[in-house]
Amino acid sequence: MDIRRLVKKEVASLRAYQAKETPCRVKLDANESPYGFAGALKAVEKISTNRYPDPEAKALKTVLAGSLGVKPQNLLQGNGSDELIYYLVATFGGPVLYPVPTFSMYGIISQALGEKKREVPLDRDFDIDIDRMMTVLKKEKPKIVFLSTPNNPTGNCFSSEKILKIIGESKGLVVVDEAYQPFSSEKGFVPLLRDHKNLVIMRTLSKIGLAALRFGFLIADEQIIDEVNKVRLPFNVNALSQAVAIEALKKKKALKEAIQIIADERDRMIVAMEDIKGVIPFPSEANFILFRVKDPHKVFSRLLEQGILVRNISDAVAGCLRVTIGTPKENGLFLRALEKTA
């Protein structure tokens, strides 16, 4: 039997998300934090393994709501924010609009669910091309606009005025994906939720040292949360992740310090990379740096030969690689290897 003939045409033409395990000495490819919270693992000892987890993740949402100044009813929990993108598209459908290059899952999920997607190229500074976005917004009336700010893989924040214009003009939802907001000098969109009912903010714990847990969350008007909650699978966030997240979030000082070290290292790395001949780093407000080289495939392989794994982004941004900020020692190893390579 030819299984491929049974597969929906939208899925048959998809390419699976590239998340493979490549052996390396220094792992700087996946925008993870180099700092974990091993101490928080002790929280799992209290878990009854025979019981389902709290289906509403009440305790965890209460902690998060408190720190964000919103109510727990304004939050929806996901098994990573990837799952929440899925739920949003499943709930509201398409067309789905987003600027490119950006996080690939907006497109993969829209296509997998058979929804129409519209991609508008960013301008030369990797900011939103507001005229083209407005044209598509008016013509296609997308149900959802996804805006990743800071944007993956470019690293910059989009202009707040342009985001606000899109929120104001959109007849559908605008999802501001703040996966990298903790590393940014901008304060983010949570304070604007009150005035914009179509605004949804997406956050994740993955970039701040807890990627293993798979926990992301939406922040939005209660009505939006209630609708998306209808498609959420029961018990989507497991008990171990809930318990460890609560414990880790108590370590406010350590979390803050780790974020600060990463942001400082990023700024130091950009300066150092600017001094390497043949390397053009782009400004970043995230925990990674996009950089251009003459031959990205060659530089990628040469770095890997020296045990350093970065991400080859040249399919999406011509000539570019993306490096995640690691510990100062890892970053030093990367810089030395890059000097020898580029």
Tell me if 81 contacts ligand PMP by CB under 6 A.
yes
Query: Is the dihedral angle over the CA atoms 223, 89, 128, 28 positive or is it negative?
Result: positive
Strand partners, 173: 144
Contact 176, 199 (CB under 8 A): yes
Residue 305 or 315: which CB sits closer to ligand PMP? 315
**Residue among 33, 74, 110, 148 that touches ligand PMP (CB under 6 A):** 148
Binding characters for ligand PMP, 297-316, by CB under 6 A (x = yes): --------------------
Give the DSSP letter string of 84-110: HHHHHHHHH-S-EEEEESS-THHHHHH
Contact 212, 236 (CB under 8 A): no
Tell me if 82 contacts ligand PMP by CB under 6 A.
yes
Residue 142 or 216: which CB sits closer to ligand PMP? 216
Binding characters for ligand PMP, 17-36, by CB under 6 A (x = yes): --------------x-----
Residue 29 or 265: which CB sits closer to ligand PMP? 29
Separation between Cα atoms, residue 186 and residue 263, nearest integer Å: 13
Least Å distance, CB 79 to ligand PMP, is 8
Of residues 168-207, which lie at the interface with ligand PMP (CB under 6 A)? 177, 179, 204, 206
Least Å distance, CB 213 to ligand PMP, is 9
Query: Is the dihedral angle over the CA atoms 230, 236, 239, 243 positive or is it negative?
Result: negative
Map residue 46 onto helix, strand or coil. Answer: helix
DSSP single-letter state for residue 53: P
Residue 85 or 269: which CB sits closer to ligand PMP? 85
Least Å distance, CB 217 to ligand PMP, is 9
CA terminus-to-terminus distance, the chain: 49
* Interacting span for ligand PMP (CB under 6 A) from 76-84, 89-97, 130-138, 251-259: 76-84
**Residue among 86, 92, 103, 183 that touches ligand PMP (CB under 6 A):** 103
Residue 290 or 335: which CB sits closer to ligand PMP? 290
Tell me if 80 contacts ligand PMP by CB under 6 A.
yes
Contact 90, 236 (CB under 8 A): no
* Interacting span for ligand PMP (CB under 6 A) from 33-41, 64-72, 75-83, 165-173: 75-83
Least Å distance, CB 188 to ligand PMP, is 13
Least Å distance, CB 81 to ligand PMP, is 4
Separation between Cα atoms, residue 319 and residue 332, nearest integer Å: 23
Separation between Cα atoms, residue 143 and residue 53, nearest integer Å: 32
* Interacting span for ligand PMP (CB under 6 A) from 79-87, 253-261, 266-274, 315-323: 79-87
Of residues 151-170, which lie at the interface with ligand PMP (CB under 6 A)? 152
**Residue among 209, 216, 296, 326 that touches ligand PMP (CB under 6 A):** 216
Closest to 288 (Cα-Cα) out of 315, 317, 314, 311:
311
Other C-beta atoms within 10 Å of 27: how many? 18
In the chain, the largest separation of any two C-alpha atoms, in whole Å, equals 58
Strand partners, 216: 78, 204
Count the residues of the shown chain that bind ligand PMP, applying the rule CB under 6 A: 13
Separation between Cα atoms, residue 190 and residue 70, nearest integer Å: 9
Contact 55, 235 (CB under 8 A): yes
Where does this chain bind ligand PMP (CB under 6 A)? 31, 80-82, 103, 148, 152, 177, 179, 204, 206, 211, 216
